[in-house]
Amino acid sequence: MSDKKQLIQPRTLKGFRDFPPALAMPREQMIDAAKAVFRSYGFAPIDTPALEYSEILTGKGGEESDKQMYRFTDHGGRDVALRFDLTVPFARFSAQHAQQLGLPFKRYHVGPVWRGENTQQGRYREFYQCDFDTIGTDSNASDIETALIIHDILAALGFERFKIHVNNRKILSGLLETLGLSEQATPVLRALDKLAKIGADKVAAEMASAGLSDAQAAHILQAVQTEGSNRAVLDQLSQQLSASERAMEGVADLRQLVDAFEAAHIPEGRLRVDVSVARGLDYYTGTVYETLLDDLPGIGSICSGGRYDNLAALYTKQHLPGVGASLGLDRLLAAMEELGLIAQTNTPAQLFIVQFTPDALGSYIALSRRLRAAGFATEVSAEAKGMGKQLKYADRKGFRFALIGGPDELERGVWQVKDLRGEGNPEIAEDDLVEHLRSMF
Amino acid sequence: MSDKKQLIQPRTLKGFRDFPPALAMPREQMIDAAKAVFRSYGFAPIDTPALEYSEILTGKGGEESDKQMYRFTDHGGRDVALRFDLTVPFARFSAQHAQQLGLPFKRYHVGPVWRGENTQQGRYREFYQCDFDTIGTDSNASDIETALIIHDILAALGFERFKIHVNNRKILSGLLETLGLSEQATPVLRALDKLAKIGADKVAAEMASAGLSDAQAAHILQAVQTEGSNRAVLDQLSQQLSASERAMEGVADLRQLVDAFEAAHIPEGRLRVDVSVARGLDYYTGTVYETLLDDLPGIGSICSGGRYDNLAALYTKQHLPGVGASLGLDRLLAAMEELGLIAQTNTPAQLFIVQFTPDALGSYIALSRRLRAAGFATEVSAEAKGMGKQLKYADRKGFRFALIGGPDELERGVWQVKDLRGEGNPEIAEDDLVEHLRSMF
C-alpha cells in the first residue's frame, strides 16, 4: 500500500571488491611506477580482451577446472570465458600478430583477471596481474634485463632491503642428469620448491617417495644449498657439475648475470644465486627468478618468473622462446603498507584552497592554476560553507596545507598557509607562495 | 594417424580487439595525461568490479535489452553481468560507501565496459570509459571545475582549437515553463539535441509532431540559436527569460562559469555558451557540457556530461547530487591520429644501444643506466647479431637514435650516435652524451 520505491541493496559479489581512493591510489601509483620502468627499457604496453573463446583459454586441456573459469554462452551462441591470467592471452596474441610485431618483442600488460576460486583463503575472484616478457630471442641479455627491471621497479617503489633469487633450470636439469634422475625431474623440482617452507628433511622425504635414494636426495640437497658469495657459489657449481654441458651453460648464464649487476653498480646483496629456486612449473627451461623482501620474508615472492622455450605452441608452429616475470601487486601493496611506504591519504592533492569569500572564486581558481602549473595538485573547496567545516573536510581527506584568503588578504595579495598536520599559519605573499611551498615538501 | 597436434586457431571474439603497442601506447599516454589532470584537481581514482549482480545493473528496469548486457549465472548460481558503463557501478559504490567517503567526493574511474551491441556500425563490444564526477554538492564551483578539467585535459593532449559548449538545463526548463510546455520537455529536448545534425526545419517538424504550435517551435528555436559573445548571449537570455526564476538561476550559473574562465586566462574561444545543447538524457538537471574540435566537428562531442540531481536513488535514500563528464577515448584517439598529435612508433624508448661486441654487454648496460637516469628510455639490443640486422630492428620499431660502441670506441670512451630518421653519425664522448642527446630532442 506504500508507494515508496523499494531500494536495491548496494553490494558486491563474493570475492569481488571495490577500491576506494585509499586503496586505489597506492595501487595506481605502484602500477605507474612499474610502467615507467618498463618503458624506460623499451617495453611497450599491449592490451587484450577480457573475454576470449573458451577453447583459447582451456587450451583444450582439463585446466578449466583448475582455473575455475567464468565461462558462459554469449548472445551469439559462442562458448566464451573471462581470462584467468595474462599469459594465455599473450600466447594467443603473439601467435596471431607475430608477423607484424617484429622480434624480439618486449611487452608489458597490466589488467584484471578472473577466477572463481575459493575465497576462504583470502583470495579474490578478480585481481590485477602485471606481466612483462621478451619473446623471440634466446639471448641471455634478455634474462639479465629481466632481473634488472625487477630490481629497478622495487627500488622505484622505495624498497631497499630485498633479494632477487636467481637460478637456472639447466643447472638443476644437469644435476639430475648426472645422477641419472632426469625422469624424476618434475616431482624433484616440486619438492625443492618447498625447501624454504618445509625444510630439508621433509624435502628429502618427498624425494624418497619419488623413488630417490637417500644418497641421491642428500646430494641434490647439498648442491642446492651451496652457500657463499654469488661467485663462490658459481665456482663450486662449476666444479661439481663440470660433467654436464647443460649445467655449465646455466652456470655461465648466471655468471654473466652476476657480472652485469656488478657493471650496473647494484649492491651485491640484492642479487642472490640460489640453486634451490625451482619454480615448480614445468614451463620454465632457463633462468628463474623469485624476489623476497628481507624484512618480510613470510609474504613470499613478490616478483617471479623465468625463461621458457616456446610460448605459443598451442596456437602456432612458430617457435617463440622468451623470458619474463610477473609482479605480485597484491603482495607488494600489502608489503608497502606494512613497511610504511604508502602515504595515508584519501586525496592525490597536497593543497586545499578554502572558499572564504564565495565572490572571490575567480581569485581562488586563478591561484589554483598557478600552483598546478608549478606542480602542486590543488583542490579549490567546492563549497563556501563555514571555514571550520572546510578545514575539517581538508583534514579528513589528508591534504597537507590549506590556503586561506579572505577579503583582507586578497587585497594585500597574501595567503595564509595553514599546516594541516602541525602548527603554523604564516602569511605569504602570493608571488613567494610557490617557493615557500617548495621548501615545505 | 598423424601425431602432429592440431593447433587452436588464434582469434578474438567478434567486436573485441587486441591493442598492439601502436594502439596501446597512445591510449595509455592519453589516459595518463587525463589522470594527471584529474589528480592535479584533487580527484582520486576508484575501481569497482567488472562483474556485478545483474539486479544492480538493470536497476530492475527493462534497460538490459538496451545495453545488451553480458549476463550469466556464475558457479554459485548468482545472476551476474559485466558492467555496461561506469555510472551505474559508481552509483552503487556511492550508496555502499557514502559514510566513509566524506562529501563532497571527487573521483575518476577509467576502465573497460562491455555491451553485446551490433558491431556493424563500427562499435566495439568492449571499450574503455573514462569518467570523472563530483558528488555530494550542489555548488556551481564544481560545475565550473568540471569545465576547467575538460579544458586542461584537451590542452594537455595537444589540442589547441576546440570549444566546450555549455548550457544549463534550467534555462531550457524555464523557457518551456514560460511557454506552458513543461509536459513536453522530453520530446522537445530530444529534438533539440539533433539541431546540429538535422537543422532547424527538421527540429521544428519534430516539435510539431510533439504537439507544439509553429509559433512555439519558432520561439524555442530562436532562443536556443541566440548568437554573439558569451556575455551577449547571457544578456539576451536574461532579458528574454526574466519571468522564469529557474531560467535566471541557470543564466547566473553560466555567467559565473564564463567569469571563471576569464579569471583563469583561458582563450575566450574555447568556451561557448550554447543554449541548443540539450543532452537528451532526462538525467541532467543543471549545467551540461559538449566538446567539439574546430577542425573535426564531424567526429562529434569528445567530452560530454552535466549536473544531475540524485546519483544513487535506486540504492539509497541519501540524496547525492553531482556533476561530471566522460571523455570519449576512442573518438579522442581517432582525432589525435587525424591531427598528427600521435607519434608513429612501436616503442616507448628513444635510444637503442647496439650490441656490437657481446663481451662488452656490461658496458652497454652501464651506459643504458646512465641514460635512463637522465630520463632517456633506452633499449639495449637483446641480440648480438649483425649490425645491419640490429639497426633494421631499431628503425622498424621507431627508435630515434642508435648508439654504437665497438672495441675501439669503448677504449676511447666515445659513442657513435646514429640518427635513425636522418643523416649524421657523430662521435660523442660518453661524458658529453647526455648533454648532446638533450640538444637533439
Percentage of residues in chain A having pLDDT higher than 70: 97
**B42 and A347 in contact by Cβ < 8 A?**
yes
**A7 and B316 in contact by Cβ < 8 A?**
yes
Q: What is the mean pLDDT of residues A280-295?
A: 91
Partner residue opposite B45 with nearest CB, options A21, A42, A92:
A21
Q: In what order do the strands lie in the sheet with B322-327?
A: B44-45, B105-114, B126-135, B322-327, B303-308, B284-293, B162-168, B271-273
Q: Whole-prediction pTM value?
A: 0.95
Chain B residue whose CA is closest to A26: B45
Within a domain: residue B277?
Answer: yes
Q: Distance (Å, rounded) from C-alpha B436 to C-alpha A140?
A: 31
Q: Is the pLDDT of residue A215 over 90?
A: yes
Within a domain: residue B301?
Answer: no
The sign of the CA dihedral B265, B270, B276, B279 is: negative
* Mutation choice for B interface testing from A39, A47, A379 by most B CBs within 10 A: A47
**B44 and A365 in contact by Cβ < 8 A?**
no
| Residue B60 binned pLDDT confidence (cut-offs 50, 70, 90) | low
Partner residue opposite A20 with nearest CB, options B100, B355, B366:
B100
Q: Is the pLDDT of residue B63 over 80?
A: no
| Partners of residue A384 in chain B, C-beta under 8 Å | 139, 141
Chain B residue whose CA is closest to A127: B49
Best CA proximity match to A157, nearest among A349, A336, A348, A297: A336
| Beta carbon pairs, A and B, within 8 Å | 304
Q: Distance (Å, rounded) from C-alpha A101 to C-alpha B21?
A: 9
C-beta separation of A22 from A346 below 8 A = yes
Per-residue buried b or exposed e for A159-191, using 16+ beta carbons within 10 Å of the residue's own CB: beebbbbbbbbbbbbbbbbbbebeebbebbbbb
C-beta separation of B169 from B288 below 8 A = yes
Q: Are residues B120 and B37 in the same domain?
A: yes
Residues 6 or more apart in contact with residue A347 via CB below 8 angstroms: A21, A379, A397, A398, A399, B42, B44
C-beta separation of B142 from B260 below 8 A = no
Best CA proximity match to A278, nearest among A332, A224, A328: A224
Q: How confident is the prediction for chain A on average, in pLDDT?
A: 93
Chain A residue whose CA is closest to B385: A139
**Distance from A295 to chain B by nearest Cα, in Å?**
27
| Partners of residue A106 in chain B, C-beta under 8 Å | 379, 382
Chain A residue whose CA is closest to B94: A10
Q: Is the pLDDT of residue A66 over 80?
A: no
Q: Are residues A149 and A170 in the same domain?
A: no
User: Which of B27-31, B152-156, B222-226 is the least confident region?
Assistant: B222-226
| Partners of residue B92 in chain A, C-beta under 8 Å | 10
Within a domain: residue B212?
Answer: yes
Give the model confidence (pLDDT) of B316-356 as tens digits.
999 999 999 999 999 999 999 999 999 889 999 999 999 99
Chain A residue whose CA is closest to B16: A49
Q: Are residues A146 and A83 in the same domain?
A: yes
C-beta separation of B119 from B127 below 8 A = no
The confidence score (pLDDT) of residue A68 equals 87
The sign of the CA dihedral A224, A229, A230, A236 is: negative
> In this structure, which amino acid lies at residue B294?
D
**Distance from A221 to chain B by nearest Cα, in Å?**
33
Q: Are residues A72 and A132 in the same domain?
A: yes
Per the model's pLDDT, the better-predicted residue between A383 and B62 turns out to be A383
Q: Are residues A317 and A429 in the same domain?
A: no
C-beta separation of A273 from A253 below 8 A = no
**Distance from B196 to chain A by nearest Cα, in Å?**
32
**B379 and A9 in contact by Cβ < 8 A?**
no
Partner residue opposite B260 with nearest CB, options A42, A44, A362:
A362
Orientation of helix A185-192 relative to helix A214-224, angle to 10°: 50
The confidence score (pLDDT) of residue A367 equals 97
Partner residue opposite B44 with nearest CB, options A315, A347, A384:
A347
Q: What is the mean pLDDT of residues A236-245?
A: 94
Chain A residue whose CA is closest to B96: A10
Within a domain: residue A5?
Answer: no
Within a domain: residue A6?
Answer: no
Partner residue opposite B21 with nearest CB, options A46, A134, A396:
A46
| Residue A278 binned pLDDT confidence (cut-offs 50, 70, 90) | confident
Percentage of residues in chain B having pLDDT higher than 90: 85
For residue A226, the enclosing domain spans 162-293
CATH code for the domain of B63: 3.30.930.10
**Distance from A403 to chain B by nearest Cα, in Å?**
14
**Distance from A143 to chain B by nearest Cα, in Å?**
9
**A144 and B365 in contact by Cβ < 8 A?**
yes
Give the model confidence (pLDDT) of B269-299 as tens digits.
999 999 999 887 678 999 999 999 999 999 9
| Residue B71 binned pLDDT confidence (cut-offs 50, 70, 90) | very high
**Which strand (E) or helix (H) includes residue B92?**
helix B87-101
Q: Is the pLDDT of residue B62 over 80?
A: no
Q: What is the mean pLDDT of residues B16-27?
A: 96
Q: How many domains does chain A have?
A: 3
- Assign residue B238 a region (left: φ > 0; alpha: ψ between -120 and 50; beta: otherwise): alpha
**B379 and A42 in contact by Cβ < 8 A?**
yes
**B50 and A112 in contact by Cβ < 8 A?**
yes
Within a domain: residue A138?
Answer: yes
**A20 and B46 in contact by Cβ < 8 A?**
yes
Q: Is the pLDDT of residue A1 over 50?
A: no
CA atoms within 13 A on the CB side of B129: 24
The confidence score (pLDDT) of residue A149 equals 98
> In this structure, which amino acid lies at residue B362?
G
**A72 and B72 in contact by Cβ < 8 A?**
yes
**A104 and B141 in contact by Cβ < 8 A?**
no
Q: Are residues A275 and A201 in the same domain?
A: yes
Orientation of helix B185-192 relative to helix B214-224, angle to 10°: 50
Q: Are residues B95 and B166 in the same domain?
A: no
Give the model confidence (pLDDT) of B359-417 as tens digits.
999 999 999 999 999 999 999 999 999 999 999 999 999 999 999 999 999 999 999 99
C-beta separation of A291 from A150 below 8 A = yes
Q: Are residues B214 and B312 in the same domain?
A: no
**Distance from B137 to chain A by nearest Cα, in Å?**
7
CATH code for the domain of B400: 3.40.50.800
Give the model confidence (pLDDT) of A405-416 as tens digits.
999 999 999 999
B210-219 long-range contacts (CB < 8 A, ≥24 apart) are: B210/B184, B211/B184, B212/B181, B212/B184, B212/B188, B216/B179, B216/B181, B219/B179
Partner residue opposite A264 with nearest CB, options B24, B52, B365:
B365
The confidence score (pLDDT) of residue A387 equals 94
Within a domain: residue A1?
Answer: no
Q: Are residues B140 and B174 in the same domain?
A: no
Percentage of residues in chain A having pLDDT higher than 90: 85
Q: How many CB atoms are closer than 10 A to CB A408? A: 10
Residues 6 or more apart in contact with residue A408 via CB below 8 angstroms: none
**Distance from A218 to chain B by nearest Cα, in Å?**
37
Give the model confidence (pLDDT) of A188-213 as tens digits.
988 998 898 899 999 999 999 999 99
| Partners of residue A317 in chain B, C-beta under 8 Å | 7
**Distance from B172 to chain A by nearest Cα, in Å?**
25
Residues 6 or more apart in contact with residue B297 via CB below 8 angstroms: none
**Distance from B212 to chain A by nearest Cα, in Å?**
33
* Mutation choice for A interface testing from B13, B72, B119, B125 by most A CBs within 10 A: B13
Residue that is last in its domain, among A250, A267, A293: A293
The confidence score (pLDDT) of residue A359 equals 93
Q: What is the mean pLDDT of residues A295-318?
A: 95
* A162-168/A126-135 β-pairing: unpaired
Q: Are residues A368 and A429 in the same domain?
A: yes
* Mutation choice for B interface testing from A5, A18, A114, A350 by most B CBs within 10 A: A18
Q: Distance (Å, rounded) from C-alpha A29 to C-alpha B162?
A: 31
Q: What is the dihedral of CA B21, B24, B27, B30, to 10 degrees?
A: -50
Partner residue opposite B104 with nearest CB, options A45, A362, A383:
A383
Give the model confidence (pLDDT) of B77-134 as tens digits.
999 999 999 999 999 999 999 889 899 999 999 999 999 988 877 789 999 999 999 9
**B46 and A361 in contact by Cβ < 8 A?**
no
C-beta separation of A161 from A298 below 8 A = no
Give the model confidence (pLDDT) of B47-58 as tens digits.
999 999 999 999
Q: Are residues A181 and A310 in the same domain?
A: no
Partner residue opposite A372 with nearest CB, options B27, B40, B137:
B40
Chain A residue whose CA is closest to B112: A50
Q: Is the pLDDT of residue A65 over 70?
A: no
SS3 label, residue A400? coil
Q: Are residues B111 and B89 in the same domain?
A: yes
Within a domain: residue B118?
Answer: yes
The confidence score (pLDDT) of residue B1 equals 38
Q: What is the mean pLDDT of residues A53-69?
A: 76
| Partners of residue B36 in chain A, C-beta under 8 Å | none
Residue by residue, DSSP assigns A302-339 as SEEEEEES-S-TTT-SS---EEEEEE-HHHHHHHHHHT
**B49 and A317 in contact by Cβ < 8 A?**
no
